[in-house]
C-alpha cells in the first residue's frame, strides 16, 4: 500500500522532552468564568474533550488562566496519562492537561509520535493514590531519539500514512455498517412500530433459547477447562476474542452448552439485547450464563434478520416496558426473552437480507484485515524508530 516496512533509522543520542519544547502545565480558571455560549476561549479540562486529532469544545472560559496556542500538542497529565491531541485554536487548559510548544529542533508530528511510543512509560511515571498524575519535572525528563529534521519529517510522514490508511478502512467499515442498517429498514420498515404489518409471534414460539453455564469457583477442578464467551466478548455483530476466560465444561456441559453455526448470542445483562451471530469464530468454545444462546426455527426466523431486529429494538427503546419504561434494561432473563413480541416477515425475505449481509461481510473482512495489518505495522514502526 505504499508504506515501507523495512526502513531502518540510525539511532542517535537521546534528548529530554524539556530540552526540545516548552511545557505549559494547565490550571483551572475560576468556575464562574465557565459558559456554554462560546464566550472567550474553549476550555479543555482533560482528555474527555479529545477527538482523533483535535479536541471538541463543550465549555468556554472568558477569564483563562493557562492558554495553549494553535498547533501546540495537548497531553493528558492525569489518568489516563499520555493521551494526545493538537490544539486547532487558541484555548484554555485545565489541570488535566499540559501544552507542549516544540522548538525549531523538532517537528511537531515527530514529537507527537515519540510521545505516543512512550505511553506506558508516562503512566508508570504517574503518582497519586486515587488518580495518578505526572508533574512537569517528570514529564520534562522523558527521553527519546532526535534524528535530523529531514529524517524526522520522513518518519512522521510514514507514520501519518499508516494512520491514514487505518482510518480510511475504519471509516469504510462504518459506512458498510450503515449500509446494512439502511437495507434492513428498506426491506422491513420500522420493526418497532411494525409499520409494514408483519406477523407477530412470541419469541419463545419461533426460537429455542438457553442461558449459559454459571461460573461457580467452588466447583472448578481444572480437569475440563475450556474457553468460554462472557458478556463483554459479544459485541454488536462481532465476537471480541482478545480476552477469553476458561472454566470447567465436562462432557455433559459440552453437549448442553455447545455452540453451532447460526446460533445467536444475546447479552442478558449490561447492554441487554446486544448480539452477534456465531460463525464458529473460535474452536472448542462455550458460553456462560450472562449470555442467551438463541436458535431460530429455520422456517420462521433467520439469525441475521433477528440480530438486526434486536439492534433496531434496542435503539428504538422497544424493551422499555419490561422494566417500567427505563431507557435500558438491567437484565433480560430467559422468561422475559421468551415473552417478547417479535415481527416475523416471510422467511424468503429474511433470507434475501441475510444474503446481502453475507456479501457485505466479505468486504468488511478485507477491511478489518487492513485495519489489523496497519495497527501491527504502526506498532512495529514505533518500536523501530523510538525503541
Please tell me the least confidently modeled range out of 94-108, 172-186, 324-338.
324-338
* Any domain includes 351: no
Q: How confident is the model at residue 330 (pLDDT cuts 50, 70, 90)?
A: low
Q: Assign residue 73 the CATH number of its domain.
A: 3.90.220.20
- Is the same domain home to 141 and 51? yes
**Boundary residue ending a domain (120, 146, 172):** 146
Peptide bond before residue 80 is cis, with ω within 30 degrees of 0: yes
- Is the same domain home to 226 and 326? yes
- Please say if the pLDDT value at position 3 is more than 70: no
- Rounded to whole angstroms, the maximal C-alpha distance in the chain is 73
**Boundary residue ending a domain (126, 146, 166):** 146
pLDDT score of 137? 96
Q: How far apart are alpha carbons 294 and 55 in whole angstroms?
A: 42
- Is the same domain home to 221 and 324? yes
pLDDT score of 205? 98
Q: Is the alpha carbon torsion for 350, 351, 357, 360 positive or negative?
A: negative
- Is the same domain home to 237 and 338? yes
- Is the same domain home to 139 and 226? no
* Any domain includes 128: yes
* Any domain includes 358: no
pLDDT in tens, 213-260: 998 878 888 899 999 999 999 999 999 999 999 999 999 999 999 999
Q: Is the alpha carbon torsion for 61, 64, 68, 69 positive or negative?
A: positive
Q: How far apart are alpha carbons 136 and 25 in whole angstroms?
A: 7
Three cell numbers written together for 322:
419490561
DSSP 3-state assignment of 382? helix
Residue 60 CA to chain centroid, in angstroms? 28
For residue 154, give Cα distances in angstroms to 4, 17, 143, 150.
11, 20, 20, 6
* Any domain includes 205: yes
Please tell me the least confidently modeled range out of 71-75, 97-101, 217-221, 346-350.
217-221
* Cβ–Cβ < 8 Å for 143, 98: no
- Structural domain of residue 311, as residue ranges? 199-344
* Any domain includes 287: yes
* Structural domain count, the chain: 2
* Any domain includes 230: yes
Say how many Å lie between the first and final Cα of the chain, rounded.
24
- Is the same domain home to 203 and 329? yes
- Please say if the pLDDT value at position 329 is more than 80: no
- Is the same domain home to 219 and 317? yes
* Any domain includes 210: yes
pLDDT in tens, 95-154: 999 999 999 999 999 999 999 999 999 999 999 888 899 999 999 999 999 999 999 999
- Is the same domain home to 236 and 314? yes
pTM for this predicted structure = 0.80
Q: How many CB atoms lie within 10 A of CB 280?
A: 11
Residues 6+ apart with CB under 8 A from 358: 304
Three cell numbers written together for 138:
517528570
- Is the same domain home to 139 and 225? no
* Cβ–Cβ < 8 Å for 139, 115: no
Three cell numbers written together for 91:
484555548
Three cell numbers written together for 385:
524508530
* Any domain includes 162: no
Q: How far apart are alpha carbons 39 and 29 in whole angstroms?
A: 14
Q: How far apart are alpha carbons 329 and 189 in whole angstroms?
A: 24
Chain-wide mean pLDDT for the chain?
Answer: 93
pLDDT score of 131? 86
- Is the same domain home to 92 and 210? no
**Boundary residue ending a domain (310, 327, 344):** 344
- For the chain, give percent helix, strand, coil, nearest 5: 40, 20, 40
Amino acid at each position: 500500500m505504499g508504506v515501507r516496512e523495512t526502513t531502518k533509522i540510525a539511532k542517535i543520542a537521546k534528548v529530554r522532552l524539556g530540552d526540545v519544547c516548552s511545557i505549559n502545565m494547565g490550571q483551572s480558571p475560576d468556575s464562574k468564568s465557565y459558559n456554554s455560549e462560546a464566550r472567550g476561549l474553549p476550555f479543555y479540562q482533560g482528555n474527555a474533550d479529545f477527538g482523533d486529532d483535535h479536541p471538541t469544545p463543550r465549555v468556554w472560559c472568558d477569564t483563562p488562566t493557562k492558554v495553549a496556542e494553535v498547533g501546540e500538542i495537548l497531553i493528558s497529565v492525569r489518568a489516563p496519562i499520555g493521551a494526545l491531541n493538537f490544539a486547532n485554536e487558541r484555548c484554555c487548559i485545565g489541570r488535566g492537561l499540559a501544552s507542549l510548544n516544540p522548538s525549531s529542533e523538532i517537528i511537531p508530528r515527530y514529537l507527537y509520535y515519540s510521545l505516543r511510543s512512550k505511553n506506558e512509560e508516562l503512566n508508570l511515571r504517574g503518582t497519586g493514590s486515587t488518580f495518578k498524575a505526572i508533574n512537569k519535572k517528570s514529564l520534562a525528563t522523558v527521553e527519546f531519539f532526535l534524528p535530523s529534521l529531514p529524517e524526522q519529517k520522513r518518519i512522521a510522514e510514514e507514520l501519518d500514512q499508516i494512520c491514514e490508511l487505518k482510518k480510511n478502512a475504519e471509516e469504510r467499515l462504518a459506512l458498510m455498517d450503515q449500509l446494512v442498517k439502511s437495507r434492513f429498514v428498506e426491506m422491513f420498515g420500522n420493526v418497532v412500530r411494525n409499520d409494514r404489518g408483519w406477523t407477530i409471534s412470541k419469541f419463545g414460539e419461533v426460537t429455542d433459547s438457553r442461558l449459559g453455564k454459571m461460573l461457580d469457583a467452588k466447583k472448578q477442578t481444572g480437569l475440563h477447562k475450556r474457553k468460554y464467551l462472557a458478556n463483554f466478548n459479544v459485541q454488536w455483530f462481532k465476537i471480541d476474542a482478545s480476552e477469553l476466560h476458561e472454566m470447567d465444561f465436562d462432557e455433559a456441559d459440552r453437549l448442553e452448552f455447545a455452540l453451532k453455526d447460526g446460533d445467536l448470542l444475546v447479552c442478558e445483562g449490561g447492554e441487554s439485547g446486544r448480539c452477534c451471530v456465531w460463525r464458529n469464530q473460535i474452536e472448542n468454545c462455550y458460553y456462560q450464563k450472562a449470555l442467551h444462546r438463541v436458535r431460530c426455527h429455520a422456517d420462521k426466523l433467520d439469525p441475521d434478520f433477528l440480530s438486526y431486529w434486536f439492534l433496531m429494538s434496542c435503539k428504538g427503546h422497544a424493551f422499555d416496558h419490561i422494566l417500567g419504561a427505563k431507557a435500558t434494561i438491567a437484565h433480560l432473563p430467559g422468561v422475559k426473552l421468551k415473552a417478547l413480541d417479535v415481527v416475523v416477515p416471510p422467511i424468503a425475505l429474511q433470507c434475501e437480507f441475510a444474503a446481502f449481509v453475507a456479501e457485505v461481510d466479505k468486504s468488511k473482512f478485507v477491511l478489518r484485515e487492513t485495519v489489523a495489518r496497519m495497527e501491527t505495522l504502526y506498532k512495529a514502526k514505533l518500536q523501530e524508530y523510538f525503541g
